[in-house]
Structure 1
Amino acid sequence: MKKYVIGASVWLLSLGLGLAQSVPTQPGLATLPLNQAIQLALQNNKGIKLADSRTQAAESRLQETKDRSLPQANASLAYSRYSLTGPFSMGQGSDGKALLSIPAGAFNATIGGATISKEVFGGFAEKSAELSADLLAKATQLDAQRNRSELIYTVTDAYYNIVKLLRSTRVIDQSISQFDEKEREAQNLLKEGVVTSNEVLKIQLQKNNLRLSRLQVEKARQTALYNFSLLVGLPDGQEVMVDTVLANPVAVAEPLSSFMTQAIQGRPEVRANALREQSAVAMLRNTKSVMYPHLGVSLGYNYINPSARLIPEANSFVSAWSLGAGLSYNIGSLYNLKGKLHSAQNAIDQANLQGQQQTDQIRSEVVTAYNNYQLALEQQNVIGTAVGQAQENYRLTESRFRNGLVGSTDLLEANSFLLQAQLNAINATVDAQLAYQRLLKATGNNLN
């Protein structure tokens, strides 16, 4: 009998300490459904906000790339005053006069200009850079979806574990109440001489063990409330109540191959990695762009005004329009580009290998989730039968105990079997729900 008492106590202790994301229920509190808890977490979770900020940063980098492909425009305006401290002369002619002379004095000069230039052909550098940035921005958006999928499962797991804890607590409380009744019956039987005082002590001992486990679970609930509030973004001290009614999930009719296909096509990280591989290909093309001639055109306007006026008088300045085209070629690209090309190709190869490795991991995850879900459904049927057997065994043992045919050891053992079967039934129901959610997450469908 002792091993059953200890086994039940240890199980309850592990349940209470292991569920760090549980929430207590109190009368008068509004029930928080699972879908609302998920929405709160998606709105308030700091990790999701950080992922969204990364997406915005990637979109900003895409815009920067687009901006660099626009025509470049420059304008300038400068004023200078030149003062000569004395006359200046150079050389001497046959007539004795200086060949070049500048008299003493000062003069002003205002020079302005504007230029617009655009690279018409740069070896596809602009187009490939913009394509690469666009693909990376989309990949970052898919990364944010993956983070949302992880958070949805985390909240769901916490919510269902809360249900497991609360429903188990009710079973424990019911068992404690039954032990109160059994203790009163044993006391009466002791007075009649049917049982010994040792039999009564055994009942009291197991009842106290259950109370100890109940206290430990209660303390875990207090910690769990705070952790769950952090997870979904509730204010400190705000308590919530979860819906403890769970419907049994239906058996999955689709074959494993169908879930495998859904995962390969729907998982955000698979699609993100494919985009990163395409981005690496675009960057290779960008690296090769220096191997092509570059053609650019420009349009400019300049004027020189020999005065201090910003707007000169008519016919007192010199102005000119200019239209030009230039062709350049980086001869060094013929021999100094091998390292860059190798790095760009290596990035493509790495993205491809990461995609293959990722696919293998996802296949394994789907197979594991699918088989675990099937196992959870089968366990529910087996445990359901075990509960009925434990209830019948307890009923017969209790009847024999009242008639003095068996001692408290047999009664406590039957009660331990029943309690364990009831707790197993709760676990099986909740675990089946979690197994189904893991299958949805493995296939990328828990975002739908």
Structure 2
Amino acid sequence: MNNLRLLTGLLSVTLLGGGMRSYSQSVITLEEIFKTAETNSAQLRPSFTAQTESACTTNIARAGRLPDIDLSLSISYIGDGFITKRDFSNYQKAPIPHLGNGLSLNLTQPVYTGGAVTSAIELAELKSTATRYATDFQRDNIRFRLTGFYLDIYKYTNLYRVMESNISAAKKVLEEMKARYEQGTALQNDITRYELLVSNLELQLVRINNTLDILNSNLVTTAGLPDGTVVVPDSTILVRSLPMQGEHWWQQEAMANSPSLSLARSSVNISRKAEDIIRSERLPKIGLQAGWTIDGPILVEVPPINRNLSYWYIGIGVSYNISSLYKSNKSLAKSRAATQRATEELTATHENISLSVRADYIHYLEAYEELKTQRKSAELADRNYQTITTRYSADMALITDMLDAVNAKLDAEKQLVNAHINIIYYYYKLLFTTGKI
């Protein structure tokens, strides 16, 4: 779906009213939210700008291979001079042409810099790559955050419906109690306690509705969706056939795709390249030089000659910073320590990702077992509720039994909703940890 169609679909979603939440048939998939966040998220935009900045830095480094050209022009007023003996006696005025002018053009083309220019370019490219990995890491973080909001909206939407269903059932029981009270077969205390139950359920419904509003606002703002959009999750997300690859496959994917691991590797490469730049300071610099100069008047003659002197030159320049032999040692030692630290951080990152993948994979498998258990629990709780309701109608159960059955049924239905969501959550957690979200 292109952006225009997506925005049109978003705007067609039913808006929130002042009371209970209404449910629209318009659906926004998680992938569509990811696509919208890619271009509209304010939290992701600085990362893209940082990439542009890094590209500019790389171009600046490449410009180090180009020649340096200096052009200077000067016009001056020259005052008269004087001549004396060495003891400042025998003063004589020395007239000098007052108009002075100068024009010079110098060109220097680096030929050999000890690898400084090449290393600077490679360092800039490595930093640009690291910035791209940082952007990928930020994108993955935003996507996983959006996934959390999205699944929470799905969970609380289902909880809302569970609460509505239980409130409706509780009100029917309450009406039955009132009818039995009129017949003298129920106590007022039973009615009061059940009214308290309904009141608590309605309060929970209000809290769920408020939580949905907060989650929707968080999701809309983070993804950069139009203001006023109400996100309705795609219900098919729970019935998708999720892949069941083994842990080894997930570990391999993490080692190949994790942005945090790629970022740690880039830090090692950057530190090593910084060492090369420091070493290049110990090598001589060689460059081609050419220039042309015209100056006037000629002041080296006495009396001065009121004419222009022009000359040009071409040659090879060699420079060597002797002090680098004893000054660069400390910088090189610091750079080596930085490389060692980056290498150790890479090892630690590798270990942490491996542990995270294992933990997420175990939780992912556990979520399937939890779903089986919660399905059975919900079934048993519902059966127990039906039994207690029948027995209560026949005056064979107490109001406390009814309240316990209602609470057990409600809790089991809530846990079943959570169990469904946990499977999807831990699947996307695996995708996030492995850099495939």
> Aligned to 2:313, what secondary structure does the other structure show?
strand
Could you report, residue by residue, the CA deviation over 1:167-194 in whole angstroms, capped at 9, with x for unpaired residues?
A: 1011101111111111111222233333
Matched, 1:211 2:202: yes
Q: 1:11-50 counterparts in 2 under 5 A? A: 25-26=21-22, 30-50=26-46
Could you report, residue by residue, the CA deviation over 1:32-83 in whole angstroms, capped at 9, with x for unpaired residues?
A: 3322222233323222111122222222222222223321001122223435
Could you report, residue by residue, the CA deviation over 1:66-121 in whole angstroms, capped at 9, with x for unpaired residues?
A: 22332100112222343538xx6678xxxxxxxx9877473534321211102211
Counterpart position of 2:332: 341
Change (3 A) 1:210 1:148: same
Partners of 1:187 and 1:232 lie apart in 2 by: 50
Partners of 1:103 and 1:288 lie apart in 2 by: 54
Q: 1:101-180 counterparts in 2 under 5 A? A: 104=95, 106-180=97-171
CA contact (8 A) 1:397 1:414 kept: yes
Counterpart position of 2:369: 378
Counterpart position of 2:68: 72
CA contact (8 A) 1:248 1:429 kept: no
> Aligned to 2:392, what secondary structure does the other structure show?
helix
Q: 1:84 aligns with which of 80, 85, 99?
A: 80
> Aligned to 2:312, what secondary structure does the other structure show?
strand
Give the drift of 1:252.
Answer: 4.4
Counterpart position of 1:5: none
Matched, 1:393 2:384: yes
Q: 1:408 aligns with which of 399, 404, 416?
A: 399
Counterpart position of 2:59: 63
Could you state the TM-score of these two structures normalised by the residue count of structure 1? 0.84
Q: 1:54 aligns with which of 40, 43, 50?
A: 50
Give the drift of 1:155.
Answer: 0.3
The aligned amino acid for 1:431 is N
Counterpart position of 2:256: 265
CA contact (8 A) 2:97 2:297 kept: no
Change (3 A) 1:139 1:373: same
> Aligned to 1:429, what secondary structure does the other structure show?
helix
Partners of 2:97 and 2:317 lie apart in 1 by: 39
Could you state the TM-score of these two structures normalised by the residue count of structure 2? 0.86
The aligned amino acid for 1:321 is W
Give the drift of 1:211.
Answer: 1.3
The aligned amino acid for 2:345 is Q
Give the drift of 1:350.
Answer: 1.0
RMSD, aligned CA: 2.5
Give the drift of 1:336.
Answer: 2.2
Give the number of the structure with larger relative contact order, counting CA–CA contacts within 8 Å between residues 6 or more apart.
1
CA contact (8 A) 2:66 2:110 kept: no
Partners of 2:399 and 2:84 lie apart in 1 by: 130
Could you report, residue by residue, the CA deviation over 1:131-177 in whole angstroms, capped at 9, with x for unpaired residues?
A: 11110110111100000001001001101100111110111011111
Counterpart position of 1:300: 291
Deviates more, 1:377-386 or 1:63-72: 63-72
Could you report, residue by residue, the CA deviation over 1:4-43 in whole angstroms, capped at 9, with x for unpaired residues?
A: xxxxxxxxxxxxxxxxxxxx85356843332222223332
The aligned amino acid for 2:61 is T
Deviates more, 1:245-254 or 1:375-384: 245-254
Change (3 A) 1:50 1:339: same
CA contact (8 A) 2:113 2:285 kept: yes
CA contact (8 A) 2:287 2:318 kept: yes
Change (3 A) 1:249 1:234: closer
Counterpart position of 1:327: 318
Q: Identity of paired residues, percent?
A: 21
> Aligned to 2:237, what secondary structure does the other structure show?
coil
The aligned amino acid for 1:326 is G
CA contact (8 A) 2:108 2:288 kept: yes
Partners of 1:103 and 1:358 lie apart in 2 by: 78
Q: 2:358 aligns with which of 367, 375, 396?
A: 367
CA contact (8 A) 1:65 1:129 kept: yes
Partners of 1:347 and 1:103 lie apart in 2 by: 64
Q: List gaps (5 residues or longer) in structure 2.
A: 1-19, 86-90, 299-306
Give the drift of 1:290.
Answer: 1.9
> Aligned to 2:151, what secondary structure does the other structure show?
helix
Counterpart position of 1:433: 424
